[in-house]
Amino acid sequence: MKTYSSFREIRDDLQNGRVSCRDLVKQYLANIREKAHLNVFLSVYEEEALNRADEVDLKIRANKAGKLAGLVVGIKDVLAYQDHPLQASSQILDGFISQYTATAVQRLLDEDAIIIGRQNCDEFAMGSSNENSAFGPVRHAIDPTRVPGGSSGGSAVGVMADMCQVSLGSDTGGSVRQPAGFCGVVGLKPTYSRISRHGLIAYGSSFDCIGIFGKCVEDVALVLEVIAGQDEFDSTVSRQPVPSYSAELEKGPRSYKIAYLKELDSSDGIQPEIRENIRKKIEQLKAQGYSAEAVEFPLMEYILPTYYILATAEASSNLSRYDGVRYGYRSKATTDLHSMYKKSRSEGFGKEVQRRILLGTFVLSASYYDAYYTKAQKVRRIIREKTKQLLAQYDFILMPITPTTAFKIGEHTSNPLEMYLGDLFSVQANVVGVPAISIPCGTDNLGLPIGLQIMADDFEEAKLLHFSNFLTHLN
């Protein structure tokens, strides 16, 4: 059976009887088994997915199927799915079964999508390489000695290696866009509050977004219009109406004004092939008549420290609920209540999660609250204002999503600071709250994918997806 590059192709073959949902699911299941060494799935819902495929096939024949009928989806192990395991790839939630379904997942099911399994990730979505999982690292499909990016590495490789057509991940500091860039797929982080966070395990609540991986912009746009919008279970979700993002893609060319960072030309930290490929794309845009100007962002050096101060503070608070008392892992080597808390958390959490909890607890402590946390909140507001000023002048800001292509497993694990610096270009969209996307932009000399990041203003996903779709077809 053929490999599908878009859901449109799948839908055409389903409607014309050339393939069935059961055939599709069986093909993805075969790919999951064949590529088990990549360590993408923590649970595969084989029987359930096949039974659901049969139900959807009946709906298609009766012309009663939803708009996502036949779309096979993987979900990152931070999204709740009722009566299924949910662990955030951590031992601290060992044996936990979700009591309800995340709003985003439920909306996929309501439109007849098929959930095929839960995907490996960095523990509690904390990481940039997918090496921090309690279940071992996810491996890159092109070169299994390399990382796929993180924290949603399993979700990215699932799409890249054709184990599912679309994946849902989460993006707190680049955790959808960065692995999308490493793996050569499309990865969207929407505006903060565009998608309900109900059923998403919290890491940094003012940064967390549910994001979408797809093989093409068209698939991402369709999924976004299904899962976005207000939700009675999430008081922070936006009430702004949800456009028909997929219909927007059908519209013709528009005149956009584009900015790109001057660092693209001057920074020694950017891999030469990344610089060259993005520069080539900018020149193609200019040749098409677009305005593209180099701009400076003077606060760039403050974005990463601001993010790590605030995100770790929020993590410290959010992860305090995992104490071994009510659910999940509980240490057996305990003598009293205090030792149960201490040992359960030290044994159940991995080293990176422990590191971020400690950092967050430190910046929230009475002696350092004003010096770090309060100051970082003020800087965050200034960064947002300056970014919004740029986006008032330009439709989009273009930049790399990562300074390098996928690195070797273990290459940066001995130096956490080195790993954190890899998030230099990805965290701005989360600090500011604006939508951003990573699209494929060629390969380096080793054949490893390069990602181009595009940022737009609040709730301008329609414009962002329209432009991204145009760029992916620009040769």
pLDDT digits (tens, 9 = 90+) for 408-429: 999 988 888 788 888 999 999 9
Measure CA of the first residue to CA of the last residue in the chain; give whole Å.
29
Q: 216-267 pLDDT, tens per residue?
A: 999 999 999 999 999 999 999 999 999 999 999 988 888 999 999 988 877 7
CA distance 169 to 248: 24
Task: Give the rounded distance of the alpha carbon of 133 from its chain centre.
Answer: 16
Task: Write down the pLDDT at residue 314.
Answer: 98
Cα 379 off chain centre by: 25
Read off the pLDDT of residues 351-370 as tens digits, 9 standing for 90 and up: 999 999 999 999 999 999 99
For residues 14-19, give the mean pLDDT.
Answer: 96
Q: Are 189 and 431 in contact (CB under 8 A)?
A: no
pLDDT of residue 69: 98
Contact 221, 437 (CB under 8 A): no
SS (H, E, C) 370-418: HHHHHHHHHHHHHHHHHHHHHHHHCCEEEEECCCCCCCECCCCCCCHHH
Kindly report the backbone phi and psi dihedral angles of residue 106, in degrees, each rounded to the nearest multiple of 5, phi listed first.
-60, -40
Q: What CATH fold (topology level) applies to the domain 7-248?
A: Amidase signature (AS) enzymes (3.90.1300)
CA-CA distance, 115 to 166, in Å (whole number)?
10
53: CB partners within 8 A, 6+ apart: 20, 21, 22, 24, 25, 114
The confidence score (pLDDT) of residue 263 equals: 81
Q: What is the dihedral of CA 273, 278, 281, 283, to 10 degrees?
A: -100
Tell me the average pLDDT across 439-462.
98
Where in the sequence numbering do the catalytic residues fall? 76, 151, 175
The ranges assigned to domains in the chain are 7-248
At residue 26, the pLDDT reads 98
CA distance to 76, 98, 170, 227, 315, per residue, from 80 (Å): 9, 6, 12, 14, 19
Burial of 446 (0-12, 13-18, 19+ CB in 10 A): exposed
CA-CA distance, 203 to 252, in Å (whole number)? 40
- How would you classify the pairing of strands 436-443 and 396-400? unpaired
**Helix extents (H) in 297-350:** 300-318, 337-348
CA 190, CA 208: separation in Å to the nearest integer?
10
Rounded to 5 degrees, φ, ψ at 317 are -70, -50
13 token code pair: 């073959």
Stretch 103-132: mean pLDDT = 98
Place of tokens 């993590």: 315
Q: Report how far residue 353's alpha carbon sits from residue 291's, in angstroms, rounded to the nearest whole number.
A: 44
| Residue 137 DSSP class | -
According to the model, what pLDDT value does residue 232 have? 97
Question: How many Cα neighbours within 13 Å face the side chain of 328?
Answer: 22
Q: Is the pLDDT of residue 1 over 80?
A: no
- The pLDDT tens digits for 70-103 are 999 999 999 999 999 999 999 999 999 999 999 9
pTM of the model: 0.97
Q: Give the pLDDT confidence of 269-283 residue by residue, as tens digits.
A: 899 999 999 999 999
Residues in the chain: 475
Q: Average pLDDT, whole number, for the chain?
A: 96
